Each structure stands twice: as C-alpha cells, then as structure tokens.
C-alpha cells in the first residue's frame, strides 16, 4: 500500500496561494479598522454633544440656570456626569483613545501621533474643537 502525502510542489503552491491572499487582504483589513475607528470617534463626539444639548435643554425648559463645572470626576472615566456609560481614558496615544488634559480640555487621538483637542465651555455648555482645523471639520460634520 503506497504512502499518501503531499509533494514539495503541492506544499509550495499552497504556501504561495496563502501568501498572495494575505498580501491582498491585510491592507484592506487595516483600512477597514481605521474607518471603523474614525466612525467610533465621530460617534463619541456626537454622543457627548447630544448629552450636553439634552442637559442644557432640560434646564432651560425647567426654567433653571445651572451649569456643569466639569464633565467628569476623574481622569479615567471621562464624561461620567453626562453619559450613562463613560468613555474610559487611555494615555496610550492609539487611534480612537481619549485623554483629559484639564478640567475643560480633552483630546482624542485621530492618528497615532496626532490628537484633536476639544474644549468644554461651561458658560455655554458646549463641547467643541477649532473649526479652522480641517480635522475638526471632518470629525464634527
């Protein structure tokens, strides 16, 4: 009875096909992950702005004048005073992570080496970035 095994040519051919597939799919996967993270950043920004708008509307309708001095109590659970599920801070400078710089200043990493800064204005209860910056325009549309 003859032994059943793969020849060297069959193994090399299989490895070549797997390599070609990997070369084609890995860049597309990385691009998809970047797009997904960018959508998450936009979603986070809109969630924060919407929560502040709801807070502001609630107090206007109840005829009260109040403001939020800070959006959170610590540097780990960001926006905990306005969001049901706070955003967890991470100082790793990875795409999509948030950091608190001061009581009214936050950054989100839109690239591994480029943050986008947001400022909380407690007098107007707004959360925004510098709209002269093209990145700010892209993420807040």
Q: In the structure, what pLDDT confidence band is assigned to residue 2 with cuts at 50, 70 and 90? A: low
**Domain extent at residue 83:** 39-140
Q: Is residue 113 part of a domain?
A: yes
Q: Is residue 87 part of a domain?
A: yes
Q: Is residue 54 part of a domain?
A: yes
Q: How many domains does the chain have?
A: 1
pTM for this model (two decimals): 0.79
**Strand boundaries in 1-141, DSSP class E:** 77-78, 87-88, 98-102, 105-111, 114-121, 126-128
Q: Is residue 51 part of a domain?
A: yes
pLDDT digits 0-9 by tens, 60-87: 888 877 778 889 988 899 999 999 999 9
pLDDT digits 0-9 by tens, 96-119: 899 999 999 999 999 878 899 999
Q: Is residue 10 part of a domain?
A: no
What whole-number percentage of the chain has pLDDT above 70? 98
The arrangement of strands across the sheet holding 114-121 comes to 98-102, 105-111, 114-121, 126-128
Contact 98, 106 (CB under 8 A): yes
Q: Is residue 6 part of a domain?
A: no
Q: Is residue 5 part of a domain?
A: no
Q: In the structure, what pLDDT confidence band is assigned to residue 5 with cuts at 50, 70 and 90? A: confident
Q: Largest Cα–Cα distance in the chain?
A: 92
Q: Is residue 21 part of a domain?
A: no
In whole angstroms, give the CA distance from residue 82 to residue 3: 69
């Amino acid at each position: 009875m003859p032994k059943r095994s793969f020849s060297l040519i069959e193994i090399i051919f299989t490895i070549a096909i797997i390599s070609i597939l990997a070369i084609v799919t890995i860049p597309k996967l990385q691009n998809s992950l970047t797009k997904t993270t960018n959508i998450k950043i936009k979603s986070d920004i809109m969630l924060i702005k919407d929560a502040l708008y709801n807070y502001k509307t609630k107090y206007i309708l109840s005829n009260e004048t109040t403001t939020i001095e800070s959006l959170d109590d610590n540097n780990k659970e960001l926006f905990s005073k306005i969001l049901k599920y706070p955003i967890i801070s991470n100082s790793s400078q990875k795409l999509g992570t948030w950091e608190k710089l001061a009581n009214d200043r936050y950054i989100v990493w839109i690239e591994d080496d480029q943050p986008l800064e947001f400022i909380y204005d407690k007098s107007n209860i707004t959360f925004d970035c510098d709209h002269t910056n093209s990145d700010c325009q892209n993420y807040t549309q």
